[in-house]
Amino acid sequence: MLGIISVTYYFAVERVNAGSQLLKVSMATENMYSFENAVYSVLWQPGSSRTLELGDYGGTLNVEPLSNPLFINMTDGNNFSSAIFNETVGEVAYQLPYAESIDTGLFLQGDSRPIVDQSGPEMTQMSIQSAIPNPEIVLCYRPIASVTSETESNVTTNNLGIFVVNLNSSQEIAVSGEIPLAISCTTIQNTVTTYNIPYNVTSLTITAILSGTAGQVSVPIVSDANSTTISVTLTLCNVQINRWIE
């Protein structure tokens, strides 16, 4: 009888422990939602800042400014091709505490596409990814492409905008426990490059490779009689994430 009670008690404790770990994972996920909301609240607003404290749910926060390489290229599929961006843009990962059942590959925000157009979903990508020793919630931002056209003095200019959220000036952080953080939008950088193509172009394909995942969007282009003018504006929203000390 004592042996049966001992075994029953063991499995009851295991169930409680498993439930406790899953609760920690759930609370850690809510933590990252709060963190992303704080980042989102300062985007495209230079000089704005937020502070918050992430709770202790048994995991480790990693701010990785030198991770997440992003390469962007555009081409008309003919003779015209040009690189637009080639740098790391950083990411934030929260390594979860151990739990028996975690849905790796699940996107909590956004989806797997490395670039979207202005009619598509948000820039935010937050997903649960496999890692050692435990899965982690990874937050990063993908570029958006948009295009408009205007005609002046019988010359049509296609204004292509590429918008990138850049975390690579953040402090490198790897810490557990309660974590006070400061998040700020430091600057908005615009780089304009104009291309005059001596033939008609009907569309451009914008290719992005974000941390090894490639994807494309196509944007319409308006040409004049025998030429095409494209003005590309690369807009970087530079965001810093640092440990906050009062």
Please write the tens of the pLDDT for every residue from 42-79: 999 999 999 999 888 888 999 999 999 999 999 999 99
Residues of the domain holding 71: 2-243
Q: SS3 for 212?
A: coil
Q: Give residue 5's pLDDT.
A: 47
pTM of the model as a whole: 0.87
Q: Give residue 98's pLDDT.
A: 67
Taking residues 201-205, what's their average pLDDT?
A: 96
Above pLDDT 90, what percent of the chain? 71
Residue whose tokens read 């935010």: 124
Count: domains in the chain:
1
The answer to whether residues 227 and 157 touch, using CB atoms and an 8 Å cutoff, is: no
Q: Give residue 56's pLDDT.
A: 86
Look at 9 and 71; give whichever has higher pLDDT: 71
CA distance 159 to 157: 6
CA distance 246 to 241: 15
Taking residues 197-223, what's their average pLDDT?
A: 96
pLDDT tens digits, one per residue of 10-39: 333 333 344 445 556 778 889 899 999 999
In this structure, what DSSP letter does residue 130 have? -
> How far is the CA of 236 from the CAs of 45, 163, 188, 240, in angstroms?
12, 6, 6, 13
